């Protein structure tokens, strides 16, 4: 059975409570449940983790590069600052999709640049929780599970 590593970055554990006008009312648990349901159709196992710590995210990528067929990542605030996560994705060498609940280009200027986008297969943003499902479907296509 193929595995996909799902990484939720900093503060995503607060979804549903934190700035619902931007991030919506859907919780992280609900997003993970929707991802599990979608993955089940393709007999894919998800390894879903959330961390507020950059080094832990880097470790997750490194530890799973030989176990997972792909990575679905919402680096959250680390999108704009983390060379370490960027380098870990490059080093893993497996298909990766970046997702965001909001459209980073319609937000504050400091959020417009992603250090992650240049090293992933694609980025899906601005569709709220649906961004995760769209990202998962794209990743499934990339790893030829369908």
CA 126, 131, 134, 135 dihedral sign is positive
CB 72 within 8 A of CB 135: yes
100 classed as catalytic? yes
Q: Which of 100, 105, 112, 132 is catalytic?
A: 100
Question: What values do phi and psi take at 84, rounded to 5?
Answer: -65, -45
CB 93 within 8 A of CB 26: no
132 classed as catalytic? no
Q: Which of 23, 53, 80, 132 is catalytic?
A: 23
Nearest of 101, 108, 109 to residue 125 by alpha carbon = 101
Residue positions annotated with a catalytic role:
23, 100
């Amino acid at each position: 059975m193929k595995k996909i590593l799902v990484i939720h970055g900093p503060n995503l554990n607060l979804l549903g409570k934190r700035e619902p006008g931007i991030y919506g009312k859907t919780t992280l648990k609900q997003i993970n449940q929707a991802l599990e349901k979608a993955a089940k159709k393709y007999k894919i196992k998800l390894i879903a983790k959330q961390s507020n710590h950059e080094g832990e995210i880097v470790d997750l990528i490194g530890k799973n590069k030989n176990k997972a067929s792909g990575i679905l990542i919402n680096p959250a605030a680390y999108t704009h600052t983390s060379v370490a996560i960027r380098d870990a994705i490059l080093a893993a060498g497996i298909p990766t999709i970046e997702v965001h609940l909001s459209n980073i280009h319609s937000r504050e200027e400091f959020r417009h640049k992603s250090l992650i986008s240049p090293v992933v297969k694609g980025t899906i943003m601005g569709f709220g929780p649906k961004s995760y499902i769209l990202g998962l479907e794209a990743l499934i296509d990339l790893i030829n599970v369908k």
